[in-house]
Amino acid sequence: MIRRGDIAHLGHVELLTPRPAESAWFFEAVMGMEREAQEDGSVFFRGFGDYERYCLKLTESPRSGLGHIGLRASSEEALERVVASVERSGRGEGWSSGDVGHGRAYAFTDPDGRRFEVYHETEHYRPPDHLVPPMLNQFQRRTGNGVGVRRLEHVNLTSTDVRACRTFLEGSLGYRCFEVIEMGDGREYGAWMSATIQGHEIIYVLEGPAPVGRLHHAAFWVDTREEVLRAADLFQDHGIFIEAGPAKHTPIHSFYLYVHEPGGNRIEVTSGGYLVLDPTERATTVWPVERYRNSRAWGRGFPPSFDTYATPPYEEGSR
């Protein structure tokens, strides 16, 4: 039986890019992440606060979008419980021997068919000489380059059936849902889910135009809202397209800034928001969609593309 806490946290995200050199430049020079490894058409990047080796696997591909999401299980026993639970759901795909930085992993798909992998054994990061930090409780020193990402915070996925994805993560993986937006017709417009007390680690929002779920964005954490504002200056000065923000999200109240990396994937720089301490189901905020639309947090909101653009891009009639 799956338990809350069996999934410890979001481990890493694999992003696909048709422009690998430019995307790598973006994550290294603009986002200020470290290039930790390179293998078979993939480059692995880390934030300065990652205890594991990386939080981003960037993989060359004909189209942009999501490769897979890596989840770390809390222990080998927890991993076994997760695998058993996923197998019961019929969504399991089997074991692989692992990847750069982590051990054996069990693959499965969410109801949209997106690939997840869950693993427990991981390599703790060992900095090269020039990144050895002064304090024992730092994983590496800060270089001061670019935006200065601490870590991956969440991944936001579009889904044609938010409810199905939400209940799969709850029932089979032990996630909790902290905010959900309900449409009048029985469908759900969005679900903010977490394996921890962080307000969101995986988010599902209703897919707009495409017949399949896609990647809405991957969100990287900086420690302060001021760093989000600083990031906006850097993005503008580096010619990176800013789609929305900086402003305050209604769910979780986090501070957001959305850009498109050169490969086309939407990237969020985020900070703030609150932790959810209530351990019971009363922690979930249920928003009727009209109430949600009429009591948004401040900020000028989103352009239409925010509801329609995801990766890979979808052209009506193209499939």
Where in 161-200 is the site for a second copy (CB under 8 A)? 179, 196-198
- Asked if 298 interacts with a second copy (CB under 8 A), we say yes
Non-local (6+) Cβ contacts of 165 within 8 A are 110, 111, 112, 157, 159, 191, 204, 213
Go through 22-40 and write b for each residue having 16 or more CB atoms within 10 A of its CB, e for each that does not: ebbebbbebbbbbebeeee
Looking at residues 110 to 169 of the shown chain, list those that interact with a second copy (rule: CB under 8 A): 124, 133-138, 141-148, 150-151
Interface with a second copy by CB under 8 A: which range of 70-78, 83-91, 97-105, 202-210? 70-78
CB 211 to a second copy: min, Å: 30
- Name which of 16 and 30 has its Cβ closer to a second copy: 30
- Report the alpha-carbon distance of residue 144 to residue 315 in Å, rounded: 40
Binding segment for a second copy among 17-25, 57-65, 72-80, 105-113 (CB under 8 A)? Answer: 72-80
In this structure, the strands spanning 254-260 and 242-248 are: antiparallel
79 Rama class: left (phi>0) / alpha (psi -120 to 50) / beta: alpha
Using the rule CB under 8 A, is 96 a contact of a second copy? no
- Contacting residue, 65, 70, 111, 251, with a second copy by CB under 8 A: 251
Q: Judged by CB, which is closer to a second copy: 250, or 265?
A: 250
The 4-43 site mask, x for binding a second copy (CB under 8 A), equals: xx--xx--------------------x-x-----------
* Cis ω for the linkage preceding 62 (within 30 of 0): no
Among 230, 289, 308, 313, binds a second copy (CB under 8 A): 230
Q: Which residues pair with 56 in a beta bridge?
A: 13, 45
Two structure tokens written together for 147: 């935006």
Q: How far apart are CA 107 and CA 69, in angstroms?
A: 10
Shortest Å distance, C-beta 93 to a second copy:
24
